A and B are shown apart, each in its own frame.
Chain A
Amino acid sequence: MEKNKNQKQPRKRALGIIVALVLLLCVSVGGTLAYLVATDGPITNIFSPATTAIRVDETCTDNVESSIVVTNTGNTAVYIRVALTSGTKNADGSLSVDSYENLNNLTLGSGWVQQTDGYYYYTSPVSASGATNNLLGSSVTLAEGQTITVLAQCVQSEPSNAAVDAWGVDPSGLKGGN
């Protein structure tokens, strides 16, 4: 009879230990959750959309145009292209247009290529706050009364097919840049 009593005591101890561990686990998890619920505020996930913007800076002394630079004022890298138009604005608002020799066969600055569409493409993406090299490899002397309009345009450089889809041209693939 005494032998059976001694065999039942270890089982009770093991059961007690298991119950104690379960209770400890419940208290610790519950306490943690209670703490987190009681102390953390709402979590805000911030997304920053890409913005694209550019600015043209030029330098002209008297009638000599020596520099045309395009700066990326957005927050994402872009490809840049430039178009130049020229003419003489008349008092009645009309524009007298002739084939100004000073815009034909421009000497281009480093990184610039003129494509068959007549536009000047900068072959490298311009990072945010970055700028292109000078478009003009040599100065241009404006004729009396001549108005030159610099039109610049950018498109996001990533993904790589963005420029191709928009412009039909892959600036990075253009050859002939200085």
Chain B
Amino acid sequence: MKKRMLAAFLSVSMLISMSVFIPAYAADTESQTESAETTPAATTEPTVTPEATTEPTSSPETTAPAVVGCSECGQTEGHAESCSQYIAPEPTGCAECGQLEGHAESCSQYVAPDPVGCTECGKVDGHEESCSQYVVPAEEACAECGQTGGHLETCSQYAAPAPDVSGMTAEEIFAHWEEYSVEEQQQILDYLAANDETKCAELLALIDDANTLEEETVSLTISAAIADGSDPDQDMIFTISRDDGFSVKVAILAEDFVNGSASITVLLPAGAYTVTADNWSWRYTTEKVENADGSVSFTYTRSKAKWFDADFSKSICYVPAAGLNDDEE
């Protein structure tokens, strides 16, 4: 008896199920065939989503006839943008950087925008001081000494003020150039570059000339000593000559000797020179020694006592600023 009742219950259940699901399946299959005919793209790329296949049964839309579109815009799926029922889709961002509009600078798809300068001064970053839109930047205080304008002398960033060269010519500045520190020299050049370009150029030319001269000159020291240690009564003259015919004379004056010896350092154009002692000091015989450091030493021995003689020398120096200097001996 129980078995018959159970069989009857199962039969009824199966009947009910078939009467409900078979029509629904048939309707769904029919709507899919119809949409395939109206949208060719759907034939190549079916738009059936897993959601539609897995949950098609409970939705009223799926159960309603698919051929029925919007009463306003006629769209069977969704709505035209002009339709009052149109709902804009949510914006989709970049898959890499997530930006909804454009891309982050770190994104590989980022394209830097062309810089757009100021319409008045043309500067892309900020503005020229002459531009009406220029804003003077606020002066920041030194983190060490707290000063906004410059630094305290105790501050490590303190720089001594540049020497006042405003009233000096380029030649006058250059005359003391080696007395300035490197920082002071730079300050002077900066000052002149900003205030007097002509003077700055003149000074730079003088510095260049001096550097060139220094590079192209050699130093030669000539020493003279009297054998017996006494001071001489005659001046000493030396001839410095080069193979190409260059020849000059230099002198060590008798009054320059101290305890029987004296020397002179001569700056010459770069080259190889020969130094000889002239017979100007004819009372003496000379002995020459060329030292390892390139200097030359002469030893004078008094050998002639005959005849009355005398020496006299006088130097004339032309210095434009101070005029002529006479130095009699």
Contact = CB atoms under 8 A, between A and B. Distances in A.
Interface of A: 50-56, 58, 60, 62-63, 65, 70, 74, 76, 78, 83-87, 89-90, 92-99, 117-119, 142-156, 162, 165-168
Contacts of A74: 308, 310
Contacts of A149: 251, 253, 313-316
B73 interface: no
19 contacts: A56-B312, A60-B316, A60-B318, A62-B324, A65-B316, A85-B250, A85-B251, A95-B266, A96-B217, A96-B266, A142-B316, A145-B318, A149-B316, A150-B314, A150-B316, A156-B309, A162-B306, A166-B304, A168-B279
B268 interface: yes
B210 to A, nearest CB: 11
A84 B310 CA distance: 17
A151 B251 contact: yes
Interface in B210-233: 213, 217, 219
Interface residues of B, number: 44
B167 to A, nearest CB: 22
Nearest to B304: A166
Interface string B285-329: 000000000000000000010111111111111111001100010
Contact of B313 (A56, A78, A168): A56
A98 B251 contact: no
Given A83-B278, A84-B249, A96-B266, 18 more contacts: A52-B310, A56-B314, A58-B314, A60-B324, A62-B323, A93-B265, A94-B266, A96-B217, A97-B240, A98-B268, A144-B319, A151-B237, A152-B312, A153-B235, A153-B280, A153-B309, A154-B310, A168-B282
Given A63-B324, A142-B318, A85 B249 contact: yes
Nearest to B236: A151
Given A52-B309, A117-B279, A167-B282, A99 B246 contact: yes
B118 interface: no
Nearest to B280: A83
A99 B319 CA distance: 19
Given A117-B278, A150-B316, A168-B279, A83 B311 contact: no
Nearest to B221: A94
Contacts of B316: 58, 60, 65, 142, 147-150
